[in-house]
Amino acid sequence: MQNEQNERSISVLSKEERSYAPSAAFAKTASVPSKAARAKLSAAAARSPEKFWDAAARELHWFKPWRKTLQWKVPDAKWFVGGKTNLSYNCLDRHLDGPRRNKAALIWESEPGKVRTYTYLQLHREVCLFANALKGLGVKPGDRVAIYMPLVPEAVVAMLACARIGAVHGVVFGGFSAEALRDRLNDAGASVVVTADGGWRKGAILRLKDAVDEAVKGAPTVKAVVVLKHADNEITIDETRDHWWHRLTAKASPVCPPEKLDSEHPLFILYTSGSTGKPKGILHTTGGYMTQTAWTMKHVFDLKETDVFWCTADVGWVTGHSYLAYGPLLNGATAVMYEGAPLTPQPDRFWSMISRHSVSIFYTAPTAIRTFMRLGEEHPAKHDLSSLRLLGTVGEPINPEAWRWYKKHIGGDRCPIVDTWWQTETGAIMISPLPGATAAKPGSATLPLPGIDADVVDMTGKSVPLGSGGYLVVRRPWPSMLRTIWGDAERYRKQYWSQIPGMYFTGDGARKDKDGYLWILGRIDDVLNVSGHRLSTSEIESALVGHPFVAESAVVGRPDELHGQAVVAFVTLKGGKIPSPELKELLREFVAKAIGSIARPAEIRFTDSLPKTRSGKIMRRLLREIAAGGAVRGDVTTLEDFGILAKLQQDEE
């Protein structure tokens, strides 16, 4: 068995080396049409990254030009210093004087199948109405507005309305629990929460307003809650605090001039998992984020005026911020949005949507592709997918098998695939093929984009030779870089700028092959990647020890064919508490309630004690091996005795 697996991975490795050059037909019309063109662009950008980004920023509208392109003192970057702009103006108003005025900006489909389209003109009007509604609630520039919504157009409207008036939005994924929402509201000091009665998910209603009611009880900074009527479920309204979206906007004026904001004005906070239990509020600012998001959207996706672009991410994640909302709108593109679950009502939902809306660029996560692969190619085969011309992936490494399936059964062997590496912290794509220029190798995100100084280095910061592995870093600041962790500048410095001297450390390990292509090996800190979503092991551990029966816990990831990684929790119980399958279920639900269902452990394993080193550190490597090997599977109630294992391990060290 072991041998079989080894052989398989060796053969996969050799196949990995196969590269897929862009077709002549695709390259002909691409914005960067050849390997040489990319190399030239990269060389120029490497000579002067500031000149490169300066030119990119000039393609957008600024009320006042900047004095200085970059001001940099580790770890604080300021881009386009002194410039004044507005992101909502660049996404909307800028397109209203030309042929894009009546072009579809958003095509939205609800899970039950309702379709709504907003032109740029219509979207502009909705944004102005809602911006004035927020102003009416007393929201001022710099105030934090939390958005906890289903994936509906109004979520994008609320984001753009904040950007218009200079409020800082903090989108919290609708799948997060009331407790997780409350923590984020408190950390950000949000004064307003925008939500909906409920949202659709797998044919059922997710009761968002109920969660908000619970969260706000413990969040004293929240003064007002705006509720969109969407799923029509019964909710309770607190007249002193809650406002219906439709009533507020019915009274509001449709005229709302954009605030002329400083390039470094805070744009949004987005929480993500780090290696400690407390989620980090990643802060992005206006001018730099706008510039890199616009550039990458245009060139990584080789965007054309007639494209219909569908990014399947929720706006609760950074991918939804940069490539569902801002990237497409900054470029005057047409974006598709889908509220619901991918397999509802049938496994061919996505393919039916691609066909019905003539989607030409499709951007999704490897975990979704693996799910579709498992369900079988007969589902995409039922639909005409000939409108597609480019595919993308994001969020985790894609295994070559899934890559080839995607290429063949979705892309008809005709569409290039861009495997894009980036993070919540980087704000926009950093490492990726340019589809008309870069030969793809399945499983590799290929090369750093022009203007991005990413590399694989050793612990001292020295670049590793071709063919070796190390830490993935970025040497110089880039425009859409996070500026800080909200309220914790010290954690920002320590987390990102102290591990490898003078460089931004991504938290990922990577390998550089003989052609300089980068292969992401995954996180090397205590962060898990489950279905492309980041989870911190210690966040789940602290949720578990919050249960009165639990004495101690250690959470690790085990490889999972479908989800990339699965959460395995080792748990020791307090004296007198008896392990049982019911308790296991209870604890799984307990975590789901504390954080959200994405964090629900796939497996709980009870143990008498956790294996620890002499200094008391949990031996995670050992637990990971045990979790991966599944040696003690079966009877889940068995108490595992790590005493001997730990002793053996210590003797080895």
The contact set with ligand WTA (CB under 6 A) reads 272, 317-319, 394-397, 419-424, 445, 506-508, 520, 522-523, 529, 534
CB 335 within 8 A of CB 105: yes
Pairing state between β 334-338 and 308-311: parallel
CB 465 within 8 A of CB 50: no
Burial 246-272 (b: 16+ CB within 10 A, else e): eebbeebeeebebbebbbbbbbbbbbb
3-state secondary structure 108-173: EECCCCCEEEEEHHHHHHHHHHHHHHHHHCCCCCCCEEEEECCCCHHHHHHHHHHHHHCCEEEECC
CB 354 within 8 A of CB 381: no
Least separation in angstroms between residue 272's CB and ligand WTA is 5
Rounded Cα distance between 497 and 577, Å, is 44
Q: Specify which residues 283 forms β-bridges with.
A: 269, 484
Rounded Cα distance between 530 and 559, Å, is 10
Least separation in angstroms between residue 422's CB and ligand WTA is 5
Least separation in angstroms between residue 359's CB and ligand WTA is 20
Rounded Cα distance between 87 and 509, Å, is 34
Least separation in angstroms between residue 520's CB and ligand WTA is 4
- Chain Cα centroid distance, residue 285: 17
Least separation in angstroms between residue 506's CB and ligand WTA is 6
Number of neighbours of residue 29 by Cβ within 10 angstroms: 11
Least separation in angstroms between residue 480's CB and ligand WTA is 12
Largest CA distance in the chain: 74
Helices and strands, number each (H, E), in the chain: 22, 30
The CA dihedral of 369, 373, 374, 377, to the nearest 10 degrees, is: 140
- Chain Cα centroid distance, residue 282: 12
Nearest CB to ligand WTA, comparing residues 125 and 533: 533
Least separation in angstroms between residue 305's CB and ligand WTA is 26
Distant-in-sequence, close-in-space partners of 82: CB < 8 Å, separation ≥ 6: 64, 65, 66, 67, 68, 262, 263
Pairing state between β 550-560 and 564-573: antiparallel
For residue 380, what is the enclosing H or E element?
Answer: helix 378-381
Nearest CB to ligand WTA, comparing residues 66 and 176: 176
Nearest CB to ligand WTA, comparing residues 272 and 360: 272
Least separation in angstroms between residue 526's CB and ligand WTA is 13
Nearest CB to ligand WTA, comparing residues 517 and 606: 517
Least separation in angstroms between residue 233's CB and ligand WTA is 30
Least separation in angstroms between residue 455's CB and ligand WTA is 15
Least separation in angstroms between residue 620's CB and ligand WTA is 18
Q: In what order do the strands lie in the sheet with 104-109?
A: 115-119, 104-109, 334-338, 308-311, 361-364, 390-394, 417-420
Least separation in angstroms between residue 334's CB and ligand WTA is 22
Rounded Cα distance between 144 and 456, Å, is 37
Least separation in angstroms between residue 92's CB and ligand WTA is 25
Using alpha carbons, list the distances in angstroms from residue 623 to 543, 564, 572, 631, 647: 19, 18, 14, 11, 14
Nearest CB to ligand WTA, comparing residues 124 and 441: 441
Nearest CB to ligand WTA, comparing residues 534 and 584: 534
Cα radius of gyration rounded to whole Å, the chain: 24
- Chain Cα centroid distance, residue 604: 27
